[in-house]
Structure formats: C-alpha cells, structure tokens
Amino acid sequence: MKRNIIILLVILAAAATVIYKQAGDEIQSVFKTEQPLPVEVGAKAGMLSPTFTLQGMNGGSYSGGGVREKALLINFWASWCEPCRQETPELIELARQYSEELDIYGINVTKYDVEKRARAFADEFNIPYPLLMDEEAEVFEALFKGQAFPTSVLIDRNGVIQEVLVGLPEPAELRKKVKRLTSL
C-alpha cells in the first residue's frame, strides 16, 4: 500500500510539474514579444503633410502642407553630406523636367550646417528650385521627425505624403516615384 501511495505521489508530482511548466510558458509568452513593438516615427506615407513656412535663401517665404496646385518634393540636405551632393544633379533635372507638375523645395537643415557653406553649395550647383533654411531644425526634426540626410518627402496635390525616402535613392527609382506622384 505504501508503495502504491509513493507511486501515486510521484505521478501527481510529475503531472503537476508538467502542468506548471506549460502554464508558466503560456503566462510568460503573454509578456514576451518576439519582435520589437512598432514605434511611430516621423511622417509616413498616407499621413497629411505637416504645414510649415520657411524663409528661402533668396529672401522669399515658402509654405508646405495642405492642398496645392502641384505635387511637392521636399529634400532635406546639408552641404557636408556626400549623398546630398550626389543626388543634387538628379533633383535639378527633375525640377526642369517636371516644372509644370512638381515643386521641389530643398531644405537646408542649417542647425547641422553652416549657412555660408550651404550658400556655396547652392551656387556651385546653380540650383533652380527654392532652397529654404530650417535654422533650428524645427521642420526636419519636430514636424517630419527626420534622422538622416538626405531625406526626401513626396507629397501629392492633396497634401498627402506618398513616400518618405531616407538616403540616396537610385536615379531611375526616384524618377519612377516622381512620375507616379505627378500622375496622381
């Protein structure tokens, strides 16, 4: 009889251990995440573009956000940024090719640059589109949550962000995206 009680206790202990182990894993899995939780960062496709007004290098005032007659490509750049230098000739060509359907604003994030160098950059490339000065990075950081240069934001005529491009896109890919943007 003692032997049967000992066997029964061993079986019950084993069963309790298995049940506890399974329940413990399930409880832990509620709190354990396999992938990091998504964090809302910056302007994203499908969102309305933030509204802003900045001073241009030419002294004019320029605004973005809301409904417009033309689509808008905003390019955040700095004069020391090598990918920005590489991208500029393509942006100049797009500005000329799509002048009827697209506005391009080159926004120098002056907080991370020197205005004198930014102006020299503009003169070197003879940039035909407006160059704006984001002196405190309010538009780049606070509104668009920018983190790297170059960053381009493609906004349709209704003020909806269609795409955010971080880094240097391939010229053919950028042309394709602009063509799609201007056809909306």
Same domain, 118 and 58: yes
Same domain, 30 and 75: no
Same domain, 76 and 5: no
pLDDT along the chain (184 residues), means of 10: 63 62 51 45 83 96 95 98 98 98 98 96 98 97 94 96 96 97 93
Same domain, 66 and 142: yes
Instruction: State the pLDDT at residue 40.
Output: 44
Question: From the CB of residue 27, how many other CB atoms can be counted at a distance below 10 Å?
Answer: 10
- The alpha carbon of 179 is separated from its chain's Cα centroid by a whole number of angstroms, namely 20
Task: Quote the tokens at residue 62.
Answer: 């320029």
Q: What is the DSSP letter of 143?
A: I
Quote the pTM value: 0.77
CATH label of the domain that carries residue 160 = 3.40.30.10
Return all residues near 138 (Cβ < 8 A) that are at least 6 apart: 52
Instruction: State the pLDDT at residue 32.
Output: 46
Instruction: State the pLDDT at residue 38.
Output: 42
Instruction: State the pLDDT at residue 102.
Output: 98
Same domain, 66 and 148: yes
Instruction: State the pLDDT at residue 39.
Output: 41
Inside any domain, residue 93 = yes
**Nearest by Cα to 60 from 13, 129, 161, 126:** 129
Name the helix (H) or strand (E) containing 93. helix 82-97
Full domain range(s) for residue 2: 1-37
Cβ-contact 178, 94 below 8 angstroms: yes
Write the CA distances from 144 to 19, 45, 91, 94, integer angstroms. 51, 12, 20, 23
Task: Quote the tokens at residue 149.
Answer: 């240069």
